[in-house]
Amino acid sequence: MFDILFSSLGHLFTVSHLLYMMVGVLVGLVVGIIPGLGGIAGMSLLLPFLYGMEPTVALGMLMGLVAVIPTGDTFASVLLGIPGSSASQATVIDGFSLAKRGQAARALSSAFLSSMIGGLIGAIVLTGFILIARPLVLSFSSSELFMLTLLGLSMVAVLSGRDLFKGLAACGLGLLIGAIGMAPATGEFRLNLGLDYLYDGLPLVVVGLGIFALPEIIDLLVKRGAIASEPCRLGEGWRQGIRDVGQQRGLVARCAGIGSLVGTIPGLAGSVVDWLTYGHAVQSAKDKSQFGQGDIRGVIAPESANNACACGAMVPTLLFGVPGSGTAAVFLGGLLLLGLQPGVGMIETHLDLTYTIIWSLALANILGAALCLVLARPVASLTRVPFAILAPLITVLIMFAAFQATRATGDLLALGAVGVLGVLFKQANWSRPAFLIGFVLAPGAESYFYQAVQFQGADAFQRPGVLIIGSLILAALFIPMLRSLWSKRRQTYSVGAASTARAEPPTLGAIDVVLFVALLGTAAFAWMDVADLSLIGGIMPRLAIAILGIACLLEIARCLVRRPEWQHQPLRQQVAWLAGFFALVAIMLTLGFITAATLFCLTFLVAIARLKPWTAAGMSLGVTAFLLGMAQFLTLTYPSGLIDPWLFG
């Protein structure tokens, strides 16, 4: 055993292995910084170069990319408020808030260090799991996997704060939208409105960018300032971020452990673990008042878990040939290209290569974190740039990332539609994370529930693992309530606590009223749409409709019983920017994606950002070059329109 370990370590420090690992790290950083691409696109970029490569060298390059993308995507999440990938969505909540307060460097340094530590812990856990995980992973049936999805949904109660019913309504809407498309059990099509684009449901990247990225871009454009409202003192922020990780070392260890374990469960992985660990950070904190407004723990928790989760996802990929994530699925294809068959043979025949993968993951995490810390100063300086300069570039980037989800024009229209919902949620202070959690977990919850009932019947929910996870769900739901009641009880016995012990009144605004009417109308329409479905085919949408409708009615009843506090919720300028976005989509479909993007950047930078024409022209040509280069690398065909074939054909 030890001779194989040291032999793998020798492979790690060969010149060729280190060189190609650095190539993977650099590609991973670039792909991670570009919002919406993530590991799937990055891994796809590297696959064509694997033919004929030595397996140890090729694995170093692939592991460099796998390890670093969860670190590099923090730049977009913190600095731009755009999830760099599905695994960095929770980081946006507090990371972007810190950047807007001028503490971008603090958020970045703490994120990079906690990512490195989480990756190292994940590599250690992976080492142990390679030998002992087989019976453990095989013991998880569909019923345990279903309960794990419910555990993720229980985080909605933690993240919704005092607006619990609004959070549940948002989660119900997410579940309903996640149920669009074909029912996994019966093959029936649901809620597709007769549109071919919706037959496979909405892509996660489109929903993630629409619900988070577009609202943040519009909000910053309305404010017409820099991303950071205060100058970012990078030196002090860098040191403070390091100290924050040291002070929260227990949180780092716990979240890395959660990430490692969740990563081993196929299908959950990065799109869930950041919300689980963010919810854990909120739930375990004594002072929750700053979460959502720039609490460093809201950055450390998900970032500690992301890299560990990437390591954990390698367990089912290597042992069973079952990819633990989308990135791992592409990595699995890379193994097959190299002539390696995942399974028991990776332990019996290719144990040296297996440990080479583990060593590469650990070293790549260190290299990636070091590079990100070096780049933190120049990249964080973007927060002081007037956002009007960055807005057209980021908008085109988001539209590019959304389009490459399914490479259909419907991606752009769906991005705008979800963006409208995101703007309404943001202006009315409804929980966007709750919506996204519901959307992400809907397909898995339905599939696991159907499989559990089909294969195990009533016994599915009497298994020990199910009961253990069920107790964790109850704890997640009731511990916050008990803490709140205990806190109020203590306040009633303190001096002058009579006024503070009173619960805060609900808030209500014009957008809230619009949302209640629209959501109840959506629930009624969806109920009629699924009326003809079979029991199994319609169980998930009906459950989602029930959660959505009941939560809305309970919040309305709450407002009727207690006089709500009227809240001004501005929307006029946001509507104007949304109309501009849809106009841009129409121009792209008419003239061509590349032509419209170039003209949009040039016009915006000259007319709104007030840049000099030659500067605006140079930046616009850079956008053109980027789009052409990505089309070449990804064999991507943009909407051609009338002019693109003539100019770029």
Which amino acid makes up residue 385? Answer: V
Identity of the highest mean pLDDT range in 4-8, 221-225, 317-321, 559-563: 559-563
**CB 515, CB 523: distance < 8 Å:** no
For residue 88, is pLDDT > 90? no
Rounded to whole angstroms, how far apart are CA atoms 38 and 31? 6
In angstroms, rounded to a whole number, what is the distance separating the alpha carbons of residues 329 and 43?
10
Distance CA 43, CA 108 (A): 24
Q: Are 33 and 79 in contact (CB under 8 A)?
A: no
| Residue 504 clears pLDDT 80, i.e. is over it | no
Mean pLDDT of the chain: 81
Q: Taking the complete model, does pTM exceed 0.85, yes or no?
A: no
| Structural tokens at position 398 | 């988001």
Residue in 225, 210, 35 with CA at minimum distance from that of residue 578: 210
Query: Has residue 246 got a pLDDT over 70?
Result: yes
Q: Is the pLDDT of residue 548 over 90?
A: yes
CB 164 within 8 Å of CB 157: yes
Number of residues assigned to the chain: 649
Q: What is the C-alpha separation between 548 and 77, in angstroms, rounded?
A: 29
| pLDDT at residue number 627 | 93
Q: Which residues contact 319 (CB under 8 A, 6 or more apart)?
A: 130, 133, 134, 137, 342, 343, 344, 346, 347
Nearest by Cα to 65 from 36, 23, 37, 118:
23
Q: What is the pLDDT of residues 275-330, one digit of tens each?
A: 788 888 888 888 877 887 888 999 999 888 888 887 877 777 777 666 656 567 66
In whole angstroms, what is the distance from residue 335 CA to residue 358 CA? 15
| Three-state secondary structure readout of 302-313 | HHHHHHHHHHHC
Residue 324 confidence (pLDDT): 59
Q: Would you place residue 226 in the very low, low, confident or very high pLDDT band (cuts 50, 70, 90)? A: low
Q: What is the pLDDT of residues 332-341, one digit of tens each?
A: 777 877 877 7
- What the block records as the tokens of 216 is 């943040």
pLDDT at 623: 94
Strands (E) across 148-231 are located at 181-182, 189-190
| pLDDT interval class at 424 (50, 70, 90) | very high
Residue 606: predicted pLDDT: 95
Q: How far are the Cα atoms of 102, 392, 602, 612, 626 from residue 606, in angstroms, in the given order?
A: 27, 11, 6, 7, 20
For residue range 200-219, what is the model confidence (pLDDT) as tens digits? 899 877 888 888 778 888 88
Residues 6+ apart with CB under 8 A from 559: 506, 508
Q: Are 325 and 146 in contact (CB under 8 A)?
A: no
Helix axis angle, 351-380 to 2-12, nearest 10°: 40
**Per the structure block, which two tokens stand in for 38?**
């993530």
- Distance CA(464)–CA(442), nearest Å, equals 24
Q: Tell me which H or E stretch contains 256.
A: helix 249-263
More confident residue, 420 or 105: 420
CA distance 318 to 84: 26
What pLDDT band is residue 415 in, cutting at 50, 70 and 90?
very high
Per DSSP, what are the bridge partners of residue 182? 189
Q: What is the pLDDT of residue 500?
A: 41
Q: How far is CA 343 from the centre of its chain?
A: 29
Region 470-477 average pLDDT: 78
| Highest mean pLDDT (candidates 43-47, 136-140, 391-395) | 391-395
Share of the chain above pLDDT 70, in %: 82
Lowest mean pLDDT among 40-44, 75-79, 128-132, 441-445: 40-44
Instruction: Write the pLDDT tens digit of every residue in 159-204.
Output: 666 788 898 899 899 999 999 998 887 888 999 988 999 998 998 7
Q: How many whole angstroms separate alpha carbon 436 and alpha carbon 86?
A: 10
Q: What is the pLDDT of residue 285?
A: 83
Give yes or no for a contact between 302 and 274, defined as CB atoms under 8 angstroms apart.
Answer: yes
Residue showing tokens 């009227």: 566
**pLDDT tens-place string over residues 565-582:** 888 898 999 999 999 999
CA 33 – CA 371 distance, rounded (Å) = 13
Average pLDDT over residues 340-369: 77
Task: Say whether 189 sits in a helix, a strand or coil.
Answer: strand
Task: Categorize the per-residue pLDDT at 546 as very low, low, confident or very high, splitting at 50, 70 and 90.
Answer: very high
pLDDT of residue 495: 44
pLDDT band of residue 585 (cuts 50, 70, 90) is very high
pLDDT score of 520: 97
pLDDT value at position 499? 42
How many DSSP H helices and E strands does the chain contain? 29, 4
At 580 the pLDDT is 95
Asked if residue 28 lies in contact with residue 70, where contact means CB atoms within 8 angstroms, the answer is no
Count of CB atoms situated within 10 Å of the CB of 283: 18
Q: What is the chain's Cα-based Rg?
A: 24
Backbone angles phi, psi at 639, to 5 degrees: -55, 125
Residue 549's pLDDT is what? 95
